[in-house]
Structure 1
């Protein structure tokens, strides 16, 4: 296969990957169908300097984490411009260690027919790639960090190649190719481990939904079968009040919440549910519904 890299160099490469110590992309296949209430979560773009692969690594790791969380089945992953605001928690990740060729060996031949024309090379090599990520789980309502964690991934490969650049430089490869390289597979390994750490942190987050409308016909909330809501679910209604911020840093310290009543879900649709008031005052658009 011939690949045109972002720096417009041609690479002719054929690759066979042999994974070592990698959990693989299988996430939800071995997990029984999750029937609990799904909490909402958003994923911020990974931070990755040029030294750790730059934008290709950032885009690749972000896409893999989103896919992993979706396949896991315990969360509703929210994307787009309104994602972080609509989610209960936001994951912020950074690549802290990046070794595309942490170890390995191989045979390389320079020159030849390809070298005579383009100054290329051909050969066979084996490599081990290592990547480490640091994660922060942030409460979107307060900006406070819920938990921090890190995960390391490793992968190895055996490759036959002919080309002009390092086959696994990471940043020199397109986003789609990134995940098929040893460094991308090492990233996948780290992501698999990270999902469990994120799930552990999410246990500290209370399930919540938002009132989108309320009136004589009922209280409408922005959660339905997509979040495993079922008829009969009882939710407390909270009304946001003052937002308390640190005058020095502007950091949100807390949001005052007043409990105004309780509702019970009567009808469930795909992305919407209708509830009736069972206690207290009438909810308003923007009120928060919680299980606590």
Structure 2
């Protein structure tokens, strides 16, 4: 994100509300200031002032109109920019000394400076927040997510990544400088910036690539949903009467099953592992299921779920280094069923195989080095595949064949080359199955 040079989105950050017992309004204000600074530093956004700075601007405008400022020397009213998107947040957890997962946690050889290979201690600071992106013109919620940050008392070398740089602790958060809570705050801030950058739809990135280009938008943004088509995944084309499927993924409203492994301390009890070994680890302020050695296969019984209906499967995976033939794949119904989404590295570090059943899915980026979000969606007679929010494939579904499948979902992680002791592993988290 630091090297981003494309069109920008206009965004503003509202003050975060404190809903946690140990959180005060000043802490919410400080977090909002830090987030606004971090979003600006990504280069993806034109950030509009909505905090104390806006009050100061209003006072300066009032002074210019009061008659005390020489005519023509003061700022004029009516020239301020408006935001397309408003970030609204609520701090749902704030524990400077929260109880952690306990001693004896696994030491994972991560190669990212956020968490490093540090061992989890019995106590760690913890902060969590809910974030919503709202279209300012319509008031519609564009997207929403939850982010969290955890930290122990050890220090992190190299800062929290180039995105955060030297963002100062805002407001009342300065009291936590050089404490584990500062680490937790910066981890959550990193996760928040990453999530927001991914959640903003492409058509909101419409303003000039430099800060003076705000008078020349490339296109007007569309709201999160339109009233013309009944299917929320369909939106009008920019010109003419042509209607094409929208590229943005939207999950179903009814949650069938979700698992983020947040309650897991060693081996999850919510799934059944039928091949290999796996353990729960902490990484980037989240809990993940990690392959330990070789390939891991597990499944979840979805209890009378019907694959012939309309549904969506989502999951996030991470492969820190090249694992030959390392997978993050799913199969519907049975392990040997023909309905599968296959995602794996090839025999060389340059090869990646991504396909739905036997149909290749074009993928123009490497899957190694950062988390990725995968979504498999069925609506009507159409299967759609999304990668990091972008639709890559549409295919015709076979409801009759799907209806004969058992109500189970299989995941395949890693490969025969996976070995967490040598740094070759695959992580999985934030699994969600929804129905429409």
User: Per the shorter chain, which TM-score range?
Assistant: 0.3 to 0.5
TM-score, normalising length: structure 2: 0.32
Higher strand fraction (1 or 2) = 1
TM-score by length of structure 1 reads 0.47
